[in-house]
Amino acid sequence: MSEPQRPFAITLDVGSSLANRTGAWRTERPRYVRRLPPCNNACPAGEDIQRWLYEAEPGGEGYEQAWRALVRENPFPAVMGRVCFHPCETACNRCELDEAVGINSVERFLGDEAIRRGWELPQPGEASGRRVLVVGAGPCGLSAAYHLALRGHHVTVRDGASEPGGMLRYGIPAYRLPRDVLDAEIRRILALGVELRCSEPVTDLDRATREGSFDAVLLAVGAQLARKVDVPGGTAAHVLDAVEMLHRLGDGEEPQLGRRVVVYGGGDTALDAARSARRLTGAEPLIVYRRTRERMPAHEEEVLQAEQEGIAFRWLSTIAAVEDGGIRVERMRLDEHGDPQPTGEFDELGADTVILALGQSPDLSFLADDSAIRLEDGTIAVDARAMTGRPGVFAGGDVTPGERMAAVAIGHGRRAARHIDGWLHSIETTEGPRGELARFEDLNTWYYSDAPATVRPQLDSIRRQSTFEEVVEGLDAESALYEARRCLSCGNCFSCDNCFGVCPDNAVLKPGPPGEPYAIDLDYCKGCGICAAECPCGAIEMIPEEI
Amino acid sequence: MSEVRYYQTGTFASGNRLLADEAASAQADPGRANAITKGHRACQGCGEALGARYALDAALAAAGGRVIAANATGCLEVFSTPFPESSWRLPWIHSLFANAPAVATGIAAALRAQGRTDIRVVGQGGDGGTVDIGLACLSGMFERGDDVLYLCYDNEAYMNTGVQRSAATPPAARTATTEPLPGHPGNAFGQGKNLPLIAMAHEIPYVATATVAELRDLERKVERAMELHGPRYIHVLVPCPLGWGSEPRETIEVARLAKETGLFPVFEAEGGEVTGVSPIRRLRPVEDYLRRQRRYAHLFADGTGAETIARLQRTADRNIERFGLLDGEHGSQRRPLLEVLAEADRGPQ
C-alpha cells in the first residue's frame, strides 16, 4: 500500500464542504404554502382573481389565458367589470401600501378584449342526457346555465321578460352597462347550446317540470316586486316605483317624469333611478333618505358619481305625505342604535314626481302552495348545497336570503350548478373549507415598488347629465397591464427568485424554468428562516422539525 | 407603447419571472457561480456568507469566471476552509490576518509579469483584518495603485474569536471587550475608523459601501468596480446574528434598517468624490434598528439609555444631511472631499 504523493506538509487530500451536511443543524424548516388571497376570499362570484391577474401580467398572449382563467368561474367579465361593486378591491392588501389594485378595471379590460377579439367560451362536455330547467334569465340563472352546460347537461332557461339578463337589463341603466356588452356575453353562453325561452314566465312550477321532463330545477327569479310604503296623499303628484321605471327603460320606453323629481330611498336602486331621471328630465332630482349618508346602503362609488352629476340629497327625512305640487317630509334623528326616529318637525318640498325605491321582494306566486319549499322572510330558504326543501329543486340569487348583488347571484349560479350536477349524478357535494387567509402582515412589502393606482377616465359630468352613454371608460392596454402588475400575489409564490437569492447556504433550488416551484435542499438548509422573512408575498412558512 | 415597469418586485427582489435574464440579478441565475458553496460552517443566517457570495458571484460574472481571491484570516476563513475542506469554487489563497492586500498585490504583480490581463484579483477580509490589522497593507495597496478590488465584509467586531471590539464597532455596542458599565454604555463614542472615507482620501478609482439588504445595488457596484482598474474598495455591511444578538432570520432586515435609519450611509465615490448615494426609501428612527439587536439591549434595560439613543440618532441625522440620503439627489449637494473629511470624525460629538 503506497501513500499518494502530496505536497510538503500536507497530510489530507483536498475536500469540499459539500461533505458537511449542515441540514443536521436545523430545528425549523421552510415550507412553501398557498394562502387564500383576500381578493379571492371577498369575491362573491368565487373568482380566482389572483390567478387571472397572474396570467395577464405578461401582457400580449397572456390576456387570453387570463380571460380563460376568469371565465372558469364567471362568464360575465365585461358585465361585472362594469357593474360589480368590487368587494375584492376593498379587501385588497395593497390598500395598506398605496391603493387597491384596480381589479375591476382589469376584469373589464379582459372582458372587452374577449368581445373585441371574439374569444369563445370552452366547449361543453359530453352530453349527460339530463335536463335542467332554470327559471329566470338573470345573472344567477345564466351563470348556472353556463356551468351546467359545460358539464354536459341540457339546460332550458325560461324568463317572463322579453329579453334575457334579468336585473342586469331591467335594473341597471345603460350608462352603467351598455346593452351591446350584455348581449355579447349572453350570446356566448347561449352558443353553448343553452335553450332560452323569453316571454314565457313559469306560472306553475309542477306543470313546467312535468311537461319538460326536467331532472332538476333552479329557481332564480330574482326580486322584482317593489316594496310599497303607505304614503298618504292626493293623486296630483305622480308616484311610481323605481323597479318599474328602470324596467321600462330596459325595454326602451321613456317613462313620463315631471321636472321636479324626488326619489325616496337610499339603496343603489334609488341612485340608479335618480341618475336616470337626471338624464331623462335634464333637471336635478332630489334623493330623500331617512338616515345619514354614512348609513346609506348604496355604494360609495355610485353616490360620488351621483353627486358629480348634480343630484341633491336630503338626509334624515321621511316622506309623510304626497301633496298637490309637493311633498311633506318629516325630519328624523338617529337614536343610540342608529335608527331614525321622528322629530315631529315637518318641511314642505316642491315635487311633481315621486319615485319610490324602498327595496324589492321576490314574486313567489308561481310556487302556488307548494309546502315543501320552505320560505324565509318572503324568500326561498336553501340548504348548504343550494337545495330548497323540495328534492331536486334548487334556488339562488335574489330570491334566496342574503345580499342582493349581481356578483353574489353569479356566485350562487356557479355553486348551484355544481350541486345540481352532483345531485344528477347522485354524488354528495359539499362546500370545501377555505384556506388560511394571506394577511398584510404576512407580506414583506419592502420589495414592492411604489405604484399608485390608475384612475379610470370618466365621462365628463356635463355630458353625462343628458345622455345614457357609458359613464366610466375602460383602461387602455398599457394601464391594464400596469394594474395587473400591481398585484402583490398575496400568499402565493409568483417566481420572484428572492428565496433563491437570499439563502446564505445556497439551499434553495430552482429545478425548473421560471414559473415552476422552488425546492429546499434539506441536506444543507440550516433553517435560518431568511427565505421566509424575505419572501415578498408570504408564501413560505417555517415549521418545527421533530427533534 | 412606452415601457411598462415591473411594479411587483422587479426592482428590489432577486428576479421576477417576467424579467429578461439580463435584467435579473446575478443571484437569480440558476447558473450563478456560487463562489462559496453549501456545507460551509457559518452560523444560521450569516450575513458574511451571503455578502461574500453576492460580491464574488458578481465579480466572477463580470470577469468571465477568471478571478483569484486572496483572503485575510477571520470568520470568513474559519467557516469556509477548515482543513482539508473548502467551500471556495474559485482560485483562493489563505493569508495572514494582516497581509491579504499585500498578497493580492503580489498576485496582481505576478499576473502582470506573465502578461495575463484576463485574470482579475480580489482581496477580501472582515472588518478586523481590514480596518485594524491589515490597514497598513491596504493603505499601501491603495497608494501603489495596484490592480486589486478589495472587499471588506464588515460585521463590526472580531466575531470568530468571541466578539471583541474592532475599530469598526459602532458606539454604544456591547462586545466582549466593551461591556456596558454605569457611565460607560458599551463601545465609546468618538473612536473608530471610517474606512470608506479613509479609502476615498487615497483618491483611488472607486470606493463604495453596500449592504446585504440591497442585492441589486451591491451587484451593480461590483460590476462598476470590475470595469475599472487600479485599487478599488467596496465595504459591505454584513450583520452577524451571533455578535449582534439579532435573529438569524432578520439578517437582511437588520442590514436594511442600518441603511434606512441613516446609520450606515450607502454611497459610491470615484477618484475621491462622492458620485452617488442610495437614498432612504422609508425613513425609520434608529431605535427600530437598535431594538432588534441584543448588543444594544442595555440601552433599553432601564431609563438611562435615552441620551445614548438620542446621540446615535444625531449620528444618523448627520449622515442623512451629509450624504443627502433623503432626497437622492446628491449631485446638487456634492461637497469637496476635504470638507467631507473634516467632518469625518465619526460622530457629532
The pLDDT score that the predictor gives to residue A472 is 84
If you average pLDDT over every residue of chain A, what do you get? 92
* Neighbour count for residue A458 (Cβ, 10 Å): 13
Average pLDDT over residues B264-283: 95
User: What is the pLDDT, as a whole number, of residue A324?
Assistant: 79
> Is B71 contained in some domain?
yes
> Taking each helix axis from N to C terminus, what angle separates A477-485 and A49-56, rounded to the nearest 10 degrees?
120
- How many domains are contained in chain B? 1
Q: How many Cα atoms sit within 13 Å of B167 on the Cβ side?
A: 16
Residue where the block lists cell 426592482: B11
DSSP 8-state secondary structure symbol assigned to residue B88: B
In a domain, B264, yes or no: yes
Do A261 and A274 form a contact (C-beta atoms < 8 A)? Answer: yes
Contacts of B14 in chain A (CB under 8 A): 496-498, 500-502
- Is B46 at the interface with chain A, CB within 8 A? yes
B45 lies within 8 A of chain A by CB? yes
Residue A307 has phi, psi (to 5 degrees) of: -60, -40
CB atoms within 10 A of CB A160: 17
Q: Is the pLDDT of residue B306 over 90?
A: yes
User: How far apart are alpha carbons A433 and A384 in whole angstroms?
Assistant: 13
pLDDT class of A103 with cuts at 50, 70, 90: very high
HEC letters along A144-171: HHHHHHHCCCEEEEECCCCCCCCHHHHC
pLDDT tens for each residue of A338-397: 899 999 999 999 898 999 999 999 999 888 777 788 998 889 999 999 999 999 999 999
**In this structure, what C-alpha cell is assigned to residue B90?**
474559485
Decide if B187 contacts B179 (C-beta within 8 A): no
Give the structural domain span for B42.
Answer: 29-343
Q: How confident is the model at residue B297 (pLDDT cuts 50, 70, 90)?
A: very high
Nearest CB partner across the interface for B84, out of A15, A488, A504: A15
HSE-CB for A437 with a 13 A CA cutoff: 11
Domain ranges of chain A: 40-121+447-485, 131-224+362-424, 229-357
Q: How much is the pLDDT for B330?
A: 41
Q: A526 contacts in B (CB within 8 Å)?
A: 44-45
CATH architecture of A131-224+362-424: 3-Layer(bba) Sandwich (3.50)
pLDDT at B333 over 60: no
pLDDT at B219: 96
Closest residue in A to B1 (Cα) is: A478
DSSP string spanning B5-23? P--SSTTTSS--TTS-GGG
Residue type, A492: N
Cell numbers standing for residue A444: 414583506
Does residue B301 belong to any structural domain of this protein?
yes
Give how far A46 is from chain B: nearest CA, Å: 24
Residues of A in contact with B283 (CB under 8 A): none
Question: Does position B4 have pLDDT exceeding 70, yes or no?
Answer: no
Q: What pLDDT sits at residue B336?
A: 43
Contacts of B50 in chain A (CB under 8 A): 502-504, 530
Within a domain: B172:
yes
What is the β-pairing status of strands B267-270 and B273-277?
Answer: antiparallel
Cα–Cα distance for residue pair A158/B72, rounded to 1 Å: 84
Query: And the C-alpha cell for A404?
Result: 342582493
pLDDT of residue B335: 44
Chain A residue closest to B44 (CA)?
A: A528
What pLDDT sits at residue A13? 86
Quickly state the pLDDT bin for A9 (edges 50, 70, 90).
confident
pLDDT of A418 > 50? The answer is yes
- Residue A203 identity (one-letter amino acid): T
Can you give the pLDDT at residue B2? 35
Looking only at the bridges linking them, the beta strands covering B232-237 and B149-154 are parallel
The predicted structure's pLDDT at residue B10: 58
C-alpha cell at A33: 404554502
3-state secondary structure A189-238: HHCCCCEEECCCCCCCHHHHHHHCCCCEEEECCCCCEECCCCCCECCCCE
Higher pLDDT among residues B81 and A547, named by residue:
B81
CB atoms within 10 A of CB A73: 21
**Nearest in space to A60 (alpha carbons), one of B16, B22, B18:** B18
- Pairing relationship of beta strands A238-241 and A131-135 according to DSSP bridges: unpaired
Cβ-proximal residues to A46 (8 Å cutoff; 6+ apart), any chain: A73, A74, A411, A414, A415
Q: Kind of pairing, strands A154-158 and A195-197?
A: parallel
Grid cell for residue A65:
389565458
Look up cell 361593486; give the residue: A85
d(CA A178, CA A241): 23
- Answer yes or no: do A533 and B252 touch at CB < 8 A: yes
- Give me B63's grid cell: 470577469
B89: closest chain A residue by CA: A16
Least Cα distance to A490 among A88, A110, A81, A64 occurs for: A88
Q: What is the pLDDT of residue A469?
A: 81
Chain B CB contacts of A16 under 8 Å are 37, 39, 85-87
Asked whether the beta carbons of A310 and A278 are under 8 A apart, the reply is yes
Span B207-226, pLDDT tens digits: 999 999 999 999 999 999 99
Whether the CB-CB separation of B141 and B107 falls below 8 Å is answered with: no
- What pLDDT sits at residue B345? 41
Q: Which of residues 21-60 of A touch B (CB under 8 A)?
A: 21-22, 25, 57-59
Percent of chain B with pLDDT over 70: 90
Neighbouring C-alpha atoms within 13 Å toward the C-beta of B257 = 18
| pLDDT value at residue A114 | 97
Reduced to 3 states (helix: H, G, I; strand: E, B; else coil), residue A350 is strand
Q: How many CB pairs under 8 A join A and B?
A: 176
DSSP A362-391: ---GGGTT-TTS-EETTEE---TTSB-SST
On whether the CB atoms of residues A483 and B3 are closer than 8 A, the answer is: no
Asked if pLDDT for residue B348 goes beyond 60, the answer is no
Q: Are A390 and A372 in contact (CB under 8 A)?
A: yes
pLDDT tens, residue by residue, A238-257:
888 999 999 999 888 888 88
The C-alpha atoms of residue B275 and residue B272 are separated, in whole angstroms, by 9
Nearest by CB to residue B37, choosing from A17, A523, A528, is A17
The two beta strands, B120-126 and B149-154, are: parallel
pLDDT of residue A513: 82
Q: Is the CB of residue B251 less than 8 Å from the CB of residue B300?
A: no
Mean pLDDT value across residues B163-173:
97
A 10 A CB-CB count for A80 gives 28
For residues A459 and A457, give the distance between their C-alpha atoms in angstroms, rounded to a whole number. Answer: 7
Tens of pLDDT, residues A485-497: 889 999 999 999 9
Report pLDDT digits (tens) over B8-24: 655 688 888 887 777 78
Listed residue (A407, A441, A494, A404) closest to A38, CA to CA: A441
Q: How close are the terminal C-alpha atoms of chain A, in Å? A: 43
B129's grid cell:
483584518
* pLDDT digit string, tens, across residues A466-482: 677 888 888 888 888 88
Q: Is A403 exposed, middle or buried (0-12, 13-18, 19+ CB in 10 A)?
A: exposed
Give the best residue of A496, A508, A537 to mutate against chain B (max B CB count within 10 A). Answer: A496
Q: Pairing mode, if any, of strands A353-356 and A238-241?
A: parallel
Is there a shared CATH topology between the A131-224+362-424 domain and the A229-357 domain?
Answer: yes
Which is it for strands A216-219 and A393-395: parallel, antiparallel or unpaired?
parallel
Sort out which chain B residues have CB atoms less than 8 A from A504's CB and list them: 42, 45-47, 49-50, 53, 251
Alpha carbon separation from B169 to A396, B47, B180 (Å, rounded): 69, 16, 14
Note the maximum CA span of chain A.
122
Asked if B86 lies within 8 A of A14 by C-beta distance, the reply is yes
Interface of B with A in 248-277 (CB under 8 A): 248-253, 256
Question: Residue B84: is the preceding peptide bond cis (ω within 30°)?
Answer: yes
| Integer Rg of chain A from CA | 29
> Contacts of residue A447 in chain B, CB cutoff 8 Å?
9, 12-13
Contacts of B220 (CB under 8 A, 6+ apart): none
Instruction: Reply yes or no on whether the pLDDT at A230 is more than 80.
Output: no
Average pLDDT of chain B to the nearest whole number: 91
Q: Across the interface, do A16 and B85 touch by the CB < 8 Å criterion? A: yes
Contact A18 B6 (CB under 8 A): no
B8 touches chain A (CB under 8 A): yes
Closest approach of chain A CAs to the CA of B311, in angstroms?
28
Question: Where residue B100 sits, what CATH number does that domain have?
Answer: 3.40.50.970
Q: Which CATH number fits domain A229-357: 3.90.640.10, 3.20.20.140, 3.40.50.2300, 3.50.50.60?
A: 3.50.50.60
Backbone phi and psi for residue A313, each to the nearest 5 degrees, phi listed first: -125, 145
Cβ neighbours of residue B12 closer than 8 Å, sequence gap 6 or more: A446, A447, A448, A449, B214, B216
Contact yes or no for B53 and A506 at CB 8 A: yes
Segment A111-131 shows an average pLDDT of 95
pLDDT digits (tens, 9 = 90+) for A426-445: 998 888 888 899 999 999 99
Instruction: Quote the percentage of chain A above a pLDDT of 90.
Output: 74
Q: Indicate the DSSP class of residue A400.
A: S
Enumerate residues 6+ apart whose C-beta is below 8 A from B265.
Answer: B209, B259, B277, B319, B320, B322, B323, B325
Beta-carbon contacts of residue A231 (< 8 Å; ≥ 6 apart):
A239, A319, A320, A321, A322, A354, A356
Report which listed range, A205-214, A258-267, B194-203, is most confident: B194-203
Contact B16 A495 (CB under 8 A): yes
Q: Which of A131-145, A301-315, B41-55, B154-168 has the lowest mean pLDDT?
A: A301-315
Q: Provide, as residue numbers in chain A, all residues whose Cβ is less than 8 Å from the Cβ of B250.
A: 533
Q: Between these two residues, A370 and B2, which has the higher pLDDT value? A: A370
- pLDDT recorded at residue A455: 66
Chain A residues 480-539 within an 8 A CB cutoff of chain B: 481-482, 485-489, 494-498, 500-507, 510, 514-515, 521, 523-524, 526-530, 532-534, 536
CA distance A413 to A13: 71
Q: What is the pLDDT of residue B341?
A: 43
Q: Are B149 and B122 in contact (CB under 8 A)?
A: yes
Does the pLDDT at position B346 exceed 60?
A: no
Tell the burial category of A478 from Cβ atoms under 10 Å away from its Cβ (0-12, 13-18, 19+). middle
Distance CA A261, CA A327 (A): 11
Average pLDDT over residues B103-109: 98
Compute the residue count for chain A. Answer: 547
Q: B17 in a domain, yes or no? A: no
Note the pLDDT of residue A235. 60
**For a pLDDT cut of 90, what percent of chain B falls above it?**
82
Would you say residue B337 has pLDDT above 70?
A: no
Residue (of A75, A279, A86, A102) closest to A173 by Cα position: A279
Are the C-beta atoms of B69 and B91 separated by less than 8 Å?
A: yes
Q: Given an 8 Å threshold on Cβ–Cβ distance, is A20 in contact with B41?
A: yes
Cβ atoms within 10 Å, residue A14 = 10
